[in-house]
C-alpha cells in the first residue's frame, strides 16, 4: 500500500497537479456563466473529470516528449522521468488512462462536447512540440488552456450562442502567453544552446519582458470587453480591477537582471488570477439571478 501511495505521489508531482488551479476555475466560470447560476451536479462532476483528464494527459505527454531535453537541462534534470522515478512505459499507460477519462467525460456531457473532444486533445498535446518549431510556442500553451471556458460553456448549453465564452477564452490565451514568456526567461541560455524556440531565446530577456507586458495589457483589455459583454453587477468590476493590479504587480517582481522572484510571479499571482475571476464574476451572476 505504501508503494502505491508513493507512486501516486510521484505521478501527481510529474503532472504538477496543484497547477490545476490555473485552469479549473476558468472552466467553472464558463459553466456558471453558461448556466446563469449553478450548472447541474452532473455537469459540474463531468466538467471536473474532463479537466483533470485533459490536464493530466497534457502534462504527461509533455514529460514524455521532453524527457531528453529535461535530462539535459539542469533545472529539469530531477523531473520524474529523467531521474528514473517513473518509467516511460508507466507514463504512456497513465497518458492512455487520462485520455480515456477525458473522452468518457466529454461523452457523458453532451454530443457536441464528445465530437469536439479530439480537437481538444490535439490542442493540449500538440503544445509539447511547438517550441521545436516556433518562438511563439507560448500561444500554443495559451490556446491549450483557453479552450476550457468555452468547452465548459458547451458542456452546459451544448452550443456556442454568445461571445461571452469566446472573450473569456481569449483572455485566458493572452494571460497564459504572457506568464509563459516570463517563465521561459529562466531557460533563456539553455534554450539557445539546445536550439529550442521561445520569445526570450529569440529576442532576449529584456525584450521578452516587454512582450509579456504587452500580452498582459491585451489580456486586460479583453477582460474589460468581457465585463461589458456580460453586463454583470459590481463584484465583476472588482474582479477586473483586482486582476489588473495583480498583472501589474507580477511584472514588478521580474527584472532583466534579476529573475530570482520569478516563481512568486508565476505561481502565486497566477493562481490568484483564476480564483479571483471565478469568485467575482460568479458572485455577480448569483446577484443577478437573485433579483
Spell out the domain ranges in the chain: 2-290
pLDDT at 1 over 60: no
Residue 216 CA to chain centroid, in angstroms?
15
At 260-287, the pLDDT tens digits run 777 766 667 777 899 999 999 999 999 9
Topology of the domain covering 2-290 = Tetracycline Repressor; domain 2 (1.10.357)
The cell for 113 is 462536447
- Return the minimum-mean-pLDDT range out of 95-104, 173-182, 252-261: 252-261
Query: Residue 40, SS3?
Result: coil
Residue 28 CA to chain centroid, in angstroms?
13
The cell for 81 is 522521468
pTM reported for the whole predicted model: 0.93
Quick one: pLDDT band at residue 291, thresholds 50, 70, 90? low
Which position has the grid cell 454568445?
A: 162
With CA atoms as reference, report the closest residue to 251 among 198, 290, 202, 212: 212
pLDDT at 128 over 60: yes
- The number of residues making up the chain comes to 291
Amino acid at each position: 500500500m505504501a508503494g502505491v501511495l508513493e507512486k501516486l505521489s510521484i505521478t501527481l508531482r510529474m503532472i504538477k497537479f496543484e497547477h490545476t488551479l490555473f485552469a479549473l476555475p476558468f472552466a467553472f466560470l464558463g459553466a456558471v456563466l453558461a448556466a446563469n447560476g449553478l450548472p447541474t451536479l452532473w455537469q459540474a462532476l463531468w466538467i471536473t473529470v474532463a479537466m483533470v483528464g485533459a490536464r493530466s494527459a497534457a502534462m504527461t505527454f509533455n514529460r514524455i516528449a521532453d524527457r531528453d531535453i529535461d535530462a539535459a537541462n539542469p533545472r529539469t534534470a530531477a523531473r520524474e522521468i529523467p531521474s528514473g522515478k517513473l518509467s516511460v512505459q508507466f507514463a504512456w499507460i497513465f497518458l492512455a488512462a487520462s485520455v480515456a477519462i477525458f473522452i468518457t467525460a466529454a461523452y457523458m456531457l453532451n454530443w457536441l462536447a464528445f465530437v469536439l473532444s479530439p480537437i481538444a486533445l490535439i490542442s493540449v498535446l500538440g503544445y509539447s512540440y511547438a517550441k521545436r518549431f516556433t518562438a511563439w510556442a507560448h500561444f500554443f500553451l495559451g490556446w491549450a488552456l483557453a479552450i476550457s471556458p468555452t468547452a465548459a460553456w458547451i458542456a452546459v448549453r451544448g452550443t456556442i450562442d454568445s461571445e461571452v465564452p469566446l472573450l473569456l477564452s481569449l483572455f485566458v490565451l493572452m494571460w497564459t502567453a504572457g506568464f509563459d514568456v516570463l517563465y521561459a526567461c529562466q531557460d533563456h541560455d539553455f534554450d539557445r544552446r539546445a536550439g529550442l524556440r521561445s520569445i526570450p531565446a529569440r529576442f532576449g530577456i529584456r525584450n521578452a519582458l516587454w512582450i509579456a507586458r504587452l500580452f498582459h495589457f491585451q489580456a486586460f483589455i479583453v477582460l474589460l470587453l468581457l465585463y461589458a459583454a456580460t453586463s454583470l453587477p459590481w463584484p465583476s468590476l472588482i474582479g477586473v480591477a483586482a486582476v489588473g493590479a495583480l498583472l501589474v504587480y507580477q511584472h514588478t517582481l521580474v527584472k532583466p537582471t534579476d529573475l530570482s522572484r520569478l516563481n512568486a510571479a508565476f505561481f502565486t499571482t497566477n493562481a490568484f488570477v483564476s480564483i479571483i475571476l471565478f469568485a467575482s464574476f460568479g458572485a455577480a451572476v448569483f446577484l443577478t439571478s437573485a433579483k
